[in-house]
Structure 1
């Protein structure tokens, strides 16, 4: 005999459904009705569903392998080898295009050929490898120095020593609900960015875990951080933009041929991107888990778990930050209001963790889903904090930010959520 599920119950497992994170009800127990929200990758629904299923199996499989296994830095892996090989081939291709363009210009075969050579050189210029520039990161951030922020630098020094990471060359504070590290330029200058909205809403132990995680990226073997490995992904991205077909060009035979050729090249580049991400992003996600563990070693496992869950509550925390900022309140009020929000949303964390295991997986995702990150820390060996930060020291660090938090408050009051502010394309927490 069959039974009819009660109102608000899952038709598959009869467990209660929720409407959290998506605009329709779904089941946290069996994920019923979540497949309505498969992320688009190539735009063909059946392909997107298949790719999402592949990404889900890879993500869950890696989690299962690491949660009870060794989690150490790997200097070389098959994913890194594939990415390095692709980077070398792409660099060689860009160099060959540039040489061909120079040859056409110098061949002396007339203005038309010379013009074609200039066009080829232009393509090579667009595809040239970029090493990043500090100026790009300074557009929406402020650099702090050791003289003006000794307490903050002292904390970074202690965390770096604990996790065995080199110190950043540049420390930035900015407008975003985010934190990240990056390496730029030929001299490979290390950058640590701390977004004031995120920093202000964290308790002192969570701030230590955050710094430990970010500095961990300098030593966790992340495939994205290498000088050569980043070239492959960036060059492919620029190729996709360069050859993206435009329906506006469909005029006459020439326009049709141009559209057809660009479409073929664009799809070929997309296919290579998928394969490359398929290999490299597993390595990047493994590095994220290792960075989380480094954060746990510095700030304690409990603080690292709270940090991971904190990021799952970004949307309600954004609303709180905007509300307090529009009321003229600064960092102390942000911290108190965010703590109250976290308490009131504690019951939502289990379904949000589960939701992230569906919505947060992709072949293109460099980070594991937030729910898996929190669970990984919980299930691995537990660490007590080795670097402590008390409330008084945390208050002194906030004072070292000077007038900058007021500028952030004004931006939040009139410029939208902190998590949506535009910034340079860099690795994120």
Structure 2
């Protein structure tokens, strides 16, 4: 191997082709895929997770063919996509199963109240209290604003809210009631209370995107709402949590040592298998509705922010692991008193700029490697989304769409000014507590 600057040149040990690679990233062969996925992804997973991945893999390619056929016969408008998704049989079945789960929780509540009243002063009161305590843990829980998060209201960030509202109007829905800023490498729109919505902005992701990619991100997240993503909805999402709790409550005693323990494990096996089957069924129904909604949301995002912006966004999402690693290195360096390229040490000054600059140095060869890794692993990383390489293919095989919502330098500066205090606070917290608050 010989090096020229940051470039390393060597011969592929598998096919003999010349490899020109950036020494800061994985060296691999584009001709034969040697070392394209050097990380051992072997992991111990449960039976339910194996089932999820197998079903997701089987459904992914089939869904892409279906979505491609749909795109070739009719243009996906926001309202039309919503109507088709609402009629989707899998979405309807997931709601029916979710309502049945909530019906069981209601029945447990009513039974507990009846036993409490009918058995007043007797032993039945104890059974009633137990059922009421169980129903309380199983109750659907509304999403509330985080107590320790940074929440921006409309008066705090009018320019940001104006951009959010513009994107929402183009998508065909309404905006949000609150914007939450945190240090997660993620972003999304979710329910808030009964009828509200919140936009969660993870700064490590937001800061490594271009302004137009941020618009595409907003378009995608709002597109999920209008295209029937049931997984994050109030009814289905809370039902999934209730089923998971039922499954947890019937967990067997680990390493049973007495005949009583073994009999207990044998007795809870049938209800545990039942709840496992119901959870798998709800997962399958949500998977089909959610993955279809992701493809439609990508189309909506392309219409809002442009096809190029969505494809660029997907590339950034491929390297979120690099975002985390880079951020951890910078945080550790500043904790130890070594300044980064920005010259800052133990403060958050320049942290986000440093992160964005380092992410801009990722070469195209690394993005291509991540795409091929995704194609190899399929759904092994995330069963709730179609694989990124399939989503990317779905967008690129259609006509390239221009942006309906655009930004400019002045607007970007105004939004940056509104986020300045939150950016500084989150940066200081990340330096002080670490990325995961450790």
TM-score by length of 1: 0.81
* CA-CA distance at 1:204 after TM superposition: 1.1
2:131 is the counterpart of 1:114:
no
Tell which deviates more after alignment, 259-268 or 212-221.
Answer: 259-268
SS of the residue 2:184 aligns to: coil
Question: CA, structure 1 residues 363+210, in 2 after alignment: closer, same or farther (shift >3 Å)?
Answer: closer
SS of the residue 2:246 aligns to: helix
SS of the residue 1:148 aligns to: coil
Per the alignment, residue 151 of structure 2 pairs with 143
Q: How far apart are the structure 1 equivalents of 2:382 and 2:118?
A: 43
2:89 is the counterpart of 1:78:
yes
Per the alignment, residue 155 of structure 1 pairs with 163
Alpha-carbon contact 2:176-2:197 (below 8 Å) kept? yes
2:323 is the counterpart of 1:317:
yes
2:365 is the counterpart of 1:347:
yes
Question: Structure 1, residues 119-153: CA drift from partner, whole Å, max 9, x if none?
Answer: 122222222222x2323xx2353121222312212
SS of the residue 1:218 aligns to: helix
SS of the residue 1:317 aligns to: helix
Q: How far apart are the structure 2 equivalents of 1:294 and 1:30?
A: 37
The aligned runs of 1:137-286 (5 Å cut-off) are 138-186=146-194, 188-247=195-254, 250=256, 252-286=258-292
Per the alignment, residue 401 of structure 1 pairs with 419
* CA-CA distance at 1:316 after TM superposition: 1.7
* CA-CA distance at 1:94 after TM superposition: 1.7
Q: How far apart are the structure 2 equivalents of 1:180 and 1:82?
A: 25
Tell which deviates more after alignment, 165-174 or 223-232.
Answer: 223-232
Per the alignment, residue 9 of structure 1 pairs with 14
* CA-CA distance at 1:274 after TM superposition: 1.5
Alpha-carbon contact 1:204-1:391 (below 8 Å) kept? no
Question: Structure 1, residues 17-70: CA drift from partner, whole Å, max 9, x if none?
Answer: x9x999x999986999999746654259xx93x763442121121122213423
Runs of at least 5 residues in structure 2 that lack an aligned partner in the other structure: 1-10
- Count of residue pairs the alignment pairs up: 404
2:142 is the counterpart of 1:124:
no
Question: CA, structure 1 residues 25+15, in 2 after alignment: closer, same or farther (shift >3 Å)?
Answer: closer
SS of the residue 2:179 aligns to: strand
Per the alignment, residue 46 of structure 2 pairs with 42
2:109 is the counterpart of 1:98:
yes
* CA-CA distance at 1:179 after TM superposition: 0.6
Tell which deviates more after alignment, 367-376 or 54-63.
Answer: 367-376
Per the alignment, residue 427 of structure 1 pairs with none
Per the alignment, residue 8 of structure 2 pairs with none
Tell which deviates more after alignment, 316-325 or 91-100.
Answer: 316-325
Runs of at least 5 residues in structure 1 that lack an aligned partner in the other structure: 1-5, 423-429
Q: How far apart are the structure 2 equivalents of 1:298 and 1:273?
A: 35
Per the alignment, residue 290 of structure 1 pairs with 296
Alpha-carbon contact 2:177-2:198 (below 8 Å) kept? yes
Alpha-carbon contact 1:220-1:291 (below 8 Å) kept? yes
Q: How far apart are the structure 1 equivalents of 2:25 and 2:198?
A: 33
Tell which deviates more after alignment, 275-284 or 141-150.
Answer: 141-150
Question: Structure 1, residues 375-395: CA drift from partner, whole Å, max 9, x if none?
Answer: 222223211112111233222
Q: How far apart are the structure 2 equivalents of 1:9 and 1:228?
A: 53
Q: How far apart are the structure 1 equivalents of 2:414 and 2:105?
A: 50
* CA-CA distance at 1:354 after TM superposition: 2.7
Alpha-carbon contact 1:26-1:34 (below 8 Å) kept? no
Q: How far apart are the structure 1 equivalents of 2:197 and 2:218?
A: 14
Q: Cα RMSD between the aligned structures?
A: 3.7
Per the alignment, residue 425 of structure 1 pairs with none
Q: How far apart are the structure 2 equivalents of 1:309 and 1:406?
A: 27
Per the alignment, residue 334 of structure 1 pairs with 352
SS of the residue 1:172 aligns to: strand
Q: How far apart are the structure 2 equivalents of 1:81 and 1:362?
A: 27
